[in-house]
């Protein structure tokens, strides 16, 4: 019920959940100067249904490809956090096991580990041929249809006031050339909205097509099978469903067939019989980033703690593949660059 969701206690909990890791952000500090007044005002607007979502701040990043990030106002991000916590226990139990993005206890490494495990058994312990079909959605976040998304949410959320608030959040953003379509990259709610939307894809693959060896991370998904021709037929069925039922398009340049013996590229790793390696582009990007951060450290623009955190995150990535030589080169490059100034 809406009245149970919109309480001062829940709004304060949402604030503290949102605030974690953001204490030093300027907009967060400004909001916190008059915290009680701001949260009481937000509560009043929500309870009286006079709440209006503010405009987004737009900026660009390259990580590694060009992306447009849309950042909501602090007060709106508190509401996003509130809504996320409301939706998660409703929809999370319905997500399939092989969906890994933005879910507690899952993630990239779990997905890679599971794909590798199933490749082992599908190939009879790497002794038989196995093919993979990898696909992804073209401009997924910019193409999500608001009407379809709301229809999927209404299957499990029935309170008209909660639906009013959800509609306010969903309609607060749309792609420049596509009114009624799009989710802002960067919103917490966009993560669960994406999983709700693509769970239709999961159910079609798993229960309509009865594909056991199907795995999805965000808008990337992969099938495993012993025959390429079988996967080619599967590709046609998936493309038709995605276009007709979800009003999305599969990226034509990212429909990739690979044999296990060639190495199956999945989420930054290349899975081969008996071992996995880091994707070449991932490795190149890692060294480029660490070089930049080391230079910032040498100029006094980055703390030793933040540099070390970055290094540890990269070392964590290498733990999940045969990355000993890369690790040694990474450590040597950091030592050299830190001592060459």
pLDDT in tens, 34-51: 999 999 999 999 999 999
Of the candidates 27, 18, 182, 35, the one whose C-alpha atom is nearest the C-alpha of residue 84 is 18
Mean pLDDT of 193-212: 98
Three-state SS string over 169-219 comes to HHHCCCECCECCECCCCCCHHHHHHHHHHHHHHHHHHHHHCCCCCEEEECC
341 CB-contact burial (10 Å; exposed 0-12 / middle 13-18 / buried 19+): exposed
pLDDT in tens, 107-135: 999 999 999 999 999 999 999 999 999 99
Check whether 104 has a pLDDT greater than 50.
Answer: yes
Mean pLDDT of 284-299: 86
Q: pTM for the full model? A: 0.91
pLDDT band at 295 (very low <50, low <70, confident <90, very high): confident
Round to whole Å and give the CA distance between 108 and 290. Answer: 21
> What does the pLDDT read at residue 304?
85
Contact 34, 46 (CB under 8 A): no
pLDDT band at 341 (very low <50, low <70, confident <90, very high): very low
Round to whole Å and give the CA distance between 239 and 257. Answer: 15
pLDDT in tens, 12-34: 999 999 999 898 899 999 999 99
pLDDT band at 340 (very low <50, low <70, confident <90, very high): very low
pLDDT in tens, 140-166: 999 999 999 999 999 999 999 999 999
pLDDT band at 339 (very low <50, low <70, confident <90, very high): low
């Amino acid at each position: 019920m809406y009245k149970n969701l919109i309480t001062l206690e829940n709004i304060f909990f949402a604030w503290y959940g949102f605030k974690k890791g953001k204490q030093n952000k300027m907009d967060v500090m400004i909001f916190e100067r008059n915290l009680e007044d701001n949260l009481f005002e937000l509560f009043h607007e929500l309870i009286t249904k006079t709440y209006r979502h503010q405009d987004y701040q737009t900026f660009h990043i390259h990580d590694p490809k060009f992306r447009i990030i849309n950042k909501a106002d602090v007060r709106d991000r508190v509401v996003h956090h509130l809504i996320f916590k409301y939706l998660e226990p409703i929809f999370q139990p319905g997500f399939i096991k092989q969906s890994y993005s933005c879910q507690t206890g899952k993630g990239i490494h779990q997905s890679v580990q599971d794909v590798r495990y199933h490749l082992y058994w599908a190939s009879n312990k790497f002794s038989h041929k196995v093919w993979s079909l990898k696909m992804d959605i073209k401009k997924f976040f910019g193409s999500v249809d608001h009407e379809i998304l709301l229809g999927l949410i209404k299957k499990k959320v029935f309170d008209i006031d909660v639906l009013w608030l959800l509609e306010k959040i969903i309609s607060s953003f749309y792609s420049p050339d596509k009114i009624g379509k799009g989710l802002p990259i960067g919103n917490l709610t966009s993560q669960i909205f994406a999983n709700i939307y693509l769970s239709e894809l999961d159910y079609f693959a798993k229960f309509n097509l009865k594909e056991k060896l199907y795995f999805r991370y965000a808008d990337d998904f992969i099938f495993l099978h012993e025959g390429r021709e079988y996967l080619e037929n599967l590709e046609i069925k998936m493309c038709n469903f995605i276009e007709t039922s979800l009003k999305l398009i599969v990226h034509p340049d990212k429909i990739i067939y690979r044999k296990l013996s060639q190495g199956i590229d999945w989420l930054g790793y290349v899975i081969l019989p008996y071992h996995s390696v880091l994707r070449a582009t991932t490795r190149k990007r890692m060294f480029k980033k660490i070089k930049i951060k080391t230079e910032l450290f040498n100029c006094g623009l980055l703390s030793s703690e933040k540099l070390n955190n970055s290094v540890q995150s990269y070392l964590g990535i290498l733990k999940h593949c045969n990355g000993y030589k890369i690790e040694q080169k990474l450590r040597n490059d950091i030592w050299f660059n830190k001592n060459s100034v």
